[in-house]
Amino acid sequence: MMTTLLGVLSGAVAWFLTRYLLAGIFTVNQNERAVKTSFGRAERVGQATTLKDPISEPLLPEERERYDYPQVRVIPPGGPYFRWPWERVFKVSVATQTVNMAMDPETPSANLGGTVLEAVTKDQLNTGLTGQIRYRVCEKNLYAYFFAVKRPIVHVMGYFTSILRERIANFEAPRHAPVAAGDGAIPTPESAAAAVGVSINDLRKNLRDINEHMDRECRSSEARYGITLEASLITGIDPPTEVESALAAINTAYNQVSSDISLAQAAADQKLVQSKTAVEIETLKAQAEVEPLKAMADQLRELRRNGPDALPAYVRNVRLRLFSEARKAVVEVQP
């Protein structure tokens, strides 16, 4: 009987050690961060909150109270760590992830199976947007990711989509003053589209500005939902088929006009260069003819300064040299 009781006690002790001590040892991978809770409460870092961290700077004043989350103690990579039976460990990867910006986590079949996001432009054109989003879990706001928001990625995708559609609906490219035809301006397909009020080319031409705008506007996502949007990469804007054909016709016509004007300007520039070269050559020739005359004038002035007989003597010597070289000479005879 005693032996049986000792065996039961030994088995209970072994089960307890295996179940609650050995099973309480855990590690955290290199690309992971962890948060431990005790009876459902996460370990805090004193009275610190996210409002005291720079991640809350993009929040509007009326939003700061709503997104005031406590700072929790983050378990870094490594181990082994230990937890008691009444404690629970939450792990998450902080590696950067990439998703299609048209993905709907709640309804995967939406947006053409998560491939194209639709948006309406300011001139009521329904466009299809394609691209990607790079994001990662914010280590400074794990409380929001684990405990405050049920499905953070759903909120982030909805937040991103609403900002993007608002930007597309109100986007206007910077307008420049019209240039007269005589000023040498070359029309472009974008200026053609602007002239007829089509904004598709404006959007395509300013993709970089739109991406930068999205990056600025989504900076508050880490304070809101515990997810950092590192970059939005909008790569394509596709209008309806009927609009695409009209834009193609406009682009073709204005590309041809631009090509003709460019050729004409190149020919005119070539003629101007040739004219300038001819003027420079003639100017050099004239200078070559004038320089000996200037030198002779300087020489005669110098002879004149040497006395009244120097200049007649010079003239006589020049005549004698000419007579020696001439075959015939016509001399005027004084009557």
Q: Tokens 């639709």 correspond to what residue?
A: 118
Q: Which residues contact 96 (CB under 8 A, 6 or more apart)?
A: 134, 135, 136, 230
Q: What is the mean pLDDT of residues 138-153?
A: 91
Q: Is the pLDDT of residue 235 over 60?
A: yes
The distance from CA 121 to its chain's CA centroid, rounded to whole angstroms, is: 22
pLDDT (0 to 100) of residue 73: 93
Give the domain 11-15+26-173+187-239 fold. Answer: Tetrahydropterin Synthase; Chain A (3.30.479)
What pLDDT is recorded for position 22?
66
Which of the four pLDDT bands, split at 50, 70 and 90, describes residue 193? very low
Cα distance between residue 322 and residue 317, in whole Å: 9
Rounded alpha-carbon distances, angstroms, from residue 261 to 33, 40, 114, 188: 61, 73, 44, 11
**pLDDT for 163-192, tens place per residue?**
988 988 888 766 654 444 444 444 454 444
- What pLDDT, on the 0 to 100 scale, is given for residue 180? 42
Per-residue pLDDT, 75: 92
DSSP string of 100-158?
A: ETT--SS-TTHHHHHT-EEEE-TTS-EEEEEEEEEEEE-GGGHHIIIII-SSHHHHHHH
Q: What is the pLDDT of residue 92?
A: 93
For all residues of the chain together, what is the average pLDDT?
80
The predicted pLDDT at position 244 comes to 61
Quote the tokens at residue 303. Answer: 């002879």
pLDDT at 78 exceeding the cut of 70: yes
208, 234 contact by CB (below 8 A): no
Tens of pLDDT, residues 7-46: 667 777 666 666 666 677 889 999 999 999 999 899 998 8
Give bridge partners of residue 35 from the DSSP assignment. Answer: 90
Give whichever of 92-101, 107-116, 189-198, 321-330 has the largest mean pLDDT: 92-101
pTM, rounded to two decimals: 0.61
Q: With pLDDT > 70 as the criterion, what percentage of the chain qualifies?
A: 80
- Predicted confidence band of residue 90 (pLDDT cuts 50, 70, 90): very high
